[in-house]
Amino acid sequence: MKKSLLALAVLGAFAGAASAQSSVTIYGIVDASVGRIDNGGDSVTELGSGRNAASRIGFKGIEDLGNGLKASFVLENGFQTDNGAQSTTNTATFSRLAYVGLGGDFGTVRLGRQNSQIAEVVSLIDPFQKSGLVNGTDFYNNGVPERVSNQISYISNNYGGFSGAVGYRFGEVAGDNSANRGYGLQLGYANGPLVVQFAYDKANLTQLTAGGAIVPGGTDEDTKNALLGATYDFGAFKLHGAYGQKKIDDNAGGDEKIRSYIVGATVPFGASKIRAEYIRNDNRDFDADNSVAALSYTYSLSKRTTLYATYARINNDGVSNVGFDANAVTGENASGIALGVQHNF
């Protein structure tokens, strides 16, 4: 009897040690707001979702394999708080992220659906990051790849503030390895109050319709995005700035070059924070310039719950149709306001 109890105790100790080296976490954001959106046509009063940060639920895990090697995974799905539906832009089971990786002294390798390297830079530089009423990945450079499927990426460790990442995404078109493929690069420095980031992304998109769907007989399009940005935290406030270029080459005569600029500031005080930014996109080939100005106030009720108020205005020239959703009207200005609450778990 004593031997059995001792054996059980030893097994329990080993099980506890094993579980201590592995973990799975459930996390997410629930964001809802009341607001008014005018995309240049008929305005709408809404109970919206994700106007400060996209609502989501995710699962992430890590396992210590020994000798400094760790396995990890992330599965993340977006949803609409107002009606419980999945993300309006992607109805996949895990529409936002789905990847597995191995990390160690060499860095980290990930395989699956991930953020693009240029989207990672936007999230580090833009005061509003890359979600909410003012979505940097939608507005900056008239849109940059946010999350990409079929990607293998490498993320370096941090070396005295310097780090980098590269990614390659497979096009998976039979008989044409170059069709619909893409790759990205990120280089960064972060030390003390200074953050400097550079990103480049190239996508070979084949057979696109006007709405962006891939179909036989559509338009072939090559898109190149480059972005250089920095932030400096003075303590009482943080300054944000960036410059970018976008080049589009397609076989339908729609070649474009766009130069983009961003200036912004973040001012924290107590439980409050003010964010402001201005984005300008200058189209060098078409009458399609646009700009975005935004102002936001947040108040943290706790470490997990935040109240927010955000206002943004978009100016569209000529054939530009940048807006807050797919209902944007070409050449018309747009505005939006949202008052809401965001809860992190």
Q: Is residue 269 part of a domain?
A: yes
* Cβ-contact 168, 183 below 8 angstroms: yes
- What is the structure's pLDDT at 209? 57
Rg (CA), the chain: 22
pLDDT at position 213: 59
Rounded Cα distance, 180 and 172, in Å: 8
In a domain, 161, yes or no: yes
> Which candidate, 305, 299, 323, places its Cα nearest to that of 31?
305
Structurally, the chain folds into a number of domains equal to 1
The encoded tokens of residue 33 equal 């707001």
Provide the whole-model pTM: 0.87
3-state helix vs strand vs coil in the chain, percent to 5 = 10, 55, 35
Residue 284 is assigned to a structural domain of this protein = yes
What stretches in the chain show pLDDT beneath 50? 1-20
**How many angstroms separate the Cα of 242 from the Cα of each of 124, 260, 278, 283, 305?**
11, 8, 11, 17, 30
CATH number at residue 144: 2.40.160.10
Q: Which domain holds residue 142?
A: 26-344
- Give me the residue label for tokens 């003075």: 234
Residue in the structure block whose two tokens are 């009606």: 83
For 236-246, the pLDDT digits (tens) are: 999 999 999 99
Residue 224 in any domain: the answer is yes
Is 76 part of any domain?
yes
Distances (CA, A) of 215 to 180, 208, 210: 12, 6, 10
Per-residue pLDDT at 114: 97
Q: Which two tokens stand for residue 155?
A: 């993320």
CA atoms within 13 A on the CB side of 217: 0
Q: Does 21 fall in a domain? A: no
Q: Exposed, middle or buried by CB within 10 Å (0-12, 13-18, 19+), for 302? A: exposed
Does the residue 199 lie in any domain?
A: yes
Q: Give pLDDT, residue 218.
A: 59
* pLDDT of 180: 86
Give the pLDDT of residue 337: 98
Residue 81 included in any domain: yes
Tokens of 30: 């629930």
* Entry field: residues in the chain: 345
